[in-house]
């Protein structure tokens, strides 16, 4: 099994993204893909996330990260087959392949709900240092489970910042402050937004009375350490149900499970 075989087996044909979409992803650093999740899928996923949050209580998210003012859940690969779409969908895999040059694996699969009055983050990147533009290590996808509106805590992005080779903490006097070039990512539930994780980005405050919910399927180059060690965490029942190609995307193929 190699990456090209895995992608073919998972339905990636090379026609999932247009040339214009690839250019937008390269230039702006992000690309919305509307309508990836159907309403029934959104309903099932949000119900399952609610149940998991109740079951896990204060331990929710501990496998990767707990964040004040949010409800986080981690290791979703193991927590329901319905989440498999987040690391096997052909459009998402095609986008990851484009950014990371057919050299990637799932790093983590998490959920984040910004609670009312909470969720603001400083502008940051998902990598510990500035990188040479074009030599990318990580790429994320945001799965909108609620509409992203101006007031419910949408992600803010600085288009093109992934091409500067600069690190926000080193360049900005206050990364938590508004940036003159930032845009808020608005869209309807069911949209998946691919974004280069070297793009300057951050959550904004949710000023509504309801949580604003997303999934994050986060990918890294195959030579990098995963945010969550999938081989260490993979459960026997999860391993058995996954195809060999899906195991390859997780980098758990040949596991002793």
Report the distance separating Cα 114 and Cα 93, nearest Å: 26
Asked whether the beta carbons of 230 and 113 are under 8 A apart, the reply is no
CB atoms within 10 A of CB 84: 18
pLDDT at 168 over 60: yes
pLDDT at site 257: 55
Mean pLDDT of the chain: 96
Question: What is the percentage of the chain residues whose pLDDT exceeds 90?
Answer: 96
pLDDT at 256 over 60: no
- pTM exceeds 0.85 for this model: yes
| CATH number for domain 3-250, candidates 2.60.120.200, 3.40.1010.10, 2.60.120.620, 3.30.1020.10 | 2.60.120.620
Q: Which of 94, 181, 109, 102 is nearest to 143 (CA)?
A: 109
Give the H/E segment covering residue 241. helix 236-241
Q: Residue 102: left (phi > 0), alpha (psi -120 to 50), or beta? A: left
CB atoms within 10 A of CB 180: 6
Average pLDDT over residues 177-199: 97
Helix intervals (H) in 10-38: 19-28
Question: What is the percentage of the chain residues whose pLDDT exceeds 70?
Answer: 99
| β-sheet with 192-196: strand ranges across | 30-33, 192-196, 138-144, 212-221, 104-114, 70-73
pLDDT in tens, 134-165: 999 999 999 999 999 999 999 999 999 999 99
Structure tokens at 73: 């859940």
């Amino acid at each position: 099994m190699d990456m090209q075989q895995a992608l073919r087996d998972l339905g990636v044909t090379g026609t999932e993204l247009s040339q214009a979409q690839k250019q937008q992803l390269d230039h702006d650093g992000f690309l919305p893909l509307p309508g990836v999740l159907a309403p029934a899928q959104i309903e099932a996923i949000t119900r399952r996330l609610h149940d998991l949050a109740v079951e896990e209580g204060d331990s929710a998210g501990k496998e990767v990260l707990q964040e004040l003012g949010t409800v986080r859940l981690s290791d979703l690969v193991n927590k329901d087959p319905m989440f498999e779409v987040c690391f096997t969908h052909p459009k998402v895999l095609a986008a990851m392949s484009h950014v990371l040059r057919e050299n990637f694996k799932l790093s983590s699969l998490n959920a984040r709900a910004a609670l009312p009055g909470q969720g603001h983050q400083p502008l940051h990147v998902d990598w510990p240092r500035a990188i040479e533009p074009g030599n990318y290590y990580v790429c994320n996808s945001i799965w909108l489970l609620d509409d992203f509106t101006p007031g419910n805590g949408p992600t803010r992005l600085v288009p093109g910042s992934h091409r500067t080779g600069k690190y926000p903490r080193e360049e900005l006097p206050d990364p938590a402050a508004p940036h003159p070039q930032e845009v808020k990512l608005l869209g309807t539930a069911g949209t998946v937004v691919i974004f280069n994780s070297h793009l300057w980005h951050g959550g904004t405050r949710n000023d509504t009375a309801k949580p604003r919910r997303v999934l994050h399927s986060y990918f890294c180059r195959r030579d990098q350490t995963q945010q969550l060690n999938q081989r260490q965490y993979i459960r026997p029942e999860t391993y058995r149900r996954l195809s060999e190609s899906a195991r390859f995307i997780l980098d758990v193929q040949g596991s002793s499970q």
